[in-house]
């Protein structure tokens, strides 16, 4: 693992060593506005650190929600109540004011970590992680190719050892299909959705499809996926029962993912299965270097309606990020102890 100035973890496969154990009884919070895409990286990092974090949902109301991330925390929000945790993980612009307030209210005792670019500089937290394709840099900024997530080798192995019965009977090869949709960076193009469904139909002739859609998936595309699943005998999660997301990844011989979510692709490459990428929307400019690096590594290929690529060493940066956070937290803890004495 190459290290560069500014707590940077360089590109490539991180070392798979164990994460430094934090002291017994270390307390932690997760601060987000409750979106699944924000909770997942925080949960994954907390798990890698060996912490059972208390999840606190920020509820900013106007005008404070309009001012985030630059404005103050909403005084009506009861999310910040003592006792203060030893460590706090946060992400999402609405969580920035709360994290800054927590740092101040705790007198600097809570070690604060923000995931992704807070848009107002690295000073919002003691440590900030951003993906390499973001521009933010500094002495307290940590960067890796991909971010933390909860798709750990242990969880994948457990899902394979006790496979979801809804998926286990599907004949191999199996293809997980992770469908995103509209975002603030682009809308699904109808012609792209049609090409995507046609390509999935062709893939369904040679592989069992295991499909899950997002809350961002347009209703017209959802209907197309439902018709396709009936025609091809595919599995389509309809929202009932346990979420099969991890099981899909664990059992997949290949993963089809839409290019609107870097998080989704980052989780997919942690499986070691070829990832077949399709652009439902114009790919966000900032994500292009990330996808290009994954193509160079051999993990990602364009999706053209057929299985392509071969397995590779899984890419999971979560342990390396957790190790950097653990080391920084322990330095912070030692510095506090020297200031306060025995």
Residue 136 lies in a domain: yes
Model pLDDT, residue 13 = 41
Radius of gyration of the chain (CA): 21
Residue 334 lies in a domain: yes
Among the listed residues 212, 231, 232, the one whose alpha carbon sits nearest the alpha carbon of residue 222: 212
- What are the pLDDT digits (tens) for 271-294? 999 999 999 988 788 889 999 999
Model pLDDT, residue 12 = 38
Are residues 142 and 157 both part of a single domain? no
Are residues 178 and 213 both part of a single domain? yes
Model pLDDT, residue 51 = 96
Are residues 39 and 77 both part of a single domain? yes
Are residues 174 and 227 both part of a single domain? yes
C-alpha–C-alpha distance, residues 323 and 307, integer Å? 36
Residue 311 lies in a domain: no
Residue 310 lies in a domain: no
Residue 307 lies in a domain: no
Are residues 64 and 178 both part of a single domain? no
Are residues 185 and 269 both part of a single domain? yes
Q: How many domains does the chain have?
A: 2
Are residues 115 and 15 both part of a single domain? yes
Are residues 283 and 162 both part of a single domain? yes
Model pLDDT, residue 341 = 66
CA 323 vs. chain centroid, Å, equals 17
Which CATH number fits the domain that encloses residue 12? Answer: 3.40.50
Which CATH number fits the domain that encloses residue 246? Answer: 3.40.50.2000
Q: Extract long-range pairs of 137-143: CB within 8 Å, 24+ residues apart.
A: 137/6, 137/8, 138/6, 139/5, 139/6, 139/7, 140/6, 140/7, 141/6, 141/7, 141/8, 142/6, 142/7, 142/8, 142/9, 142/321, 142/324, 142/325, 143/6, 143/8, 143/9
Residue 280 lies in a domain: yes
Are residues 82 and 210 both part of a single domain? no
The token duo for 259 is 């290019």
Model pLDDT, residue 2 = 33
Residue 163 lies in a domain: yes
Four-CA torsion 70, 74, 77, 80, nearest 10 degrees? 60
Model pLDDT, residue 10 = 44
- What are the pLDDT digits (tens) for 244-267? 999 999 999 999 999 998 999 999
Are residues 225 and 276 both part of a single domain? yes
Domain that holds residue 9: 3-149+318-340
Are residues 237 and 332 both part of a single domain? no
Residue 309 lies in a domain: no
Residue spans of the chain under pLDDT 50 = 1-7, 10-16
Are residues 96 and 202 both part of a single domain? no
φ/ψ region of 176 (left if φ > 0, alpha if ψ in -120 to 50, else beta) reads beta
């Amino acid at each position: 693992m190459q290290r560069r100035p500014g707590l940077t973890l360089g590109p490539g496969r991180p070392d798979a060593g164990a994460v430094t154990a934090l002291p017994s009884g270390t307390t932690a919070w997760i601060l987000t506005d409750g979106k699944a895409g924000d909770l997942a990286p925080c949960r994954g990092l907390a798990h890698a650190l060996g912490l059972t974090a208390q999840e606190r949902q920020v509820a900013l109301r106007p005008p404070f929600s309009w001012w985030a991330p630059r404005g103050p925390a909403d005084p009506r929000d009861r999310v910040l109540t003592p006792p203060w945790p030893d460590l706090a993980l946060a992400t999402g612009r609405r969580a920035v004011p709360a994290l800054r307030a927590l740092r101040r209210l705790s007198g600097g005792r809570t070690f604060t970590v923000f995931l992704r670019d807070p848009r107002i500089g690295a000073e919002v937290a003691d440590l900030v992680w951003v993906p390499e394709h973001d521009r933010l840099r500094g002495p307290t900024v940590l960067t890796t190719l991909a971010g933390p997530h909860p798709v750990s080798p242990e969880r994948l192995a457990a899902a394979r050892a006790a496979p979801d019965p809804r998926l286990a009977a599907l004949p191999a090869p199996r293809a997980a299909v992770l469908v995103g949709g509209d975002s603030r960076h682009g809308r699904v193009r109808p012609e792209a959705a049609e090409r995507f469904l046609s390509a999935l139909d062709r893939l369904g002739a040679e592989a069992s499809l295991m499909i899950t859609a997002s809350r961002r998936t347009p209703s017209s595309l959802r209907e197309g996926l439902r018709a396709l699943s009936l025609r091809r005998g595919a599995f389509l999660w309809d929202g009932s029962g346990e979420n099969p997301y991890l099981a899909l990844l664990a059992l997949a011989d290949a993963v089809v993912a839409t290019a609107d979510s870097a998080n989704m692709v980052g989780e997919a490459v942690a499986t070691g299965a070829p990832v077949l990428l399709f652009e439902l929307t114009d790919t966000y400019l900032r994500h292009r270097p990330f996808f290009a690096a994954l193509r160079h590594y051999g993990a990602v290929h364009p999706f053209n309606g057929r299985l392509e690529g071969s397995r590779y060493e899984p890419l999971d940066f979560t342990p390396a990020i957790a190790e950097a956070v653990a080391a920084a937290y322990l330095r912070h803890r030692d510095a506090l102890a020297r200031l306060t004495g025995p």
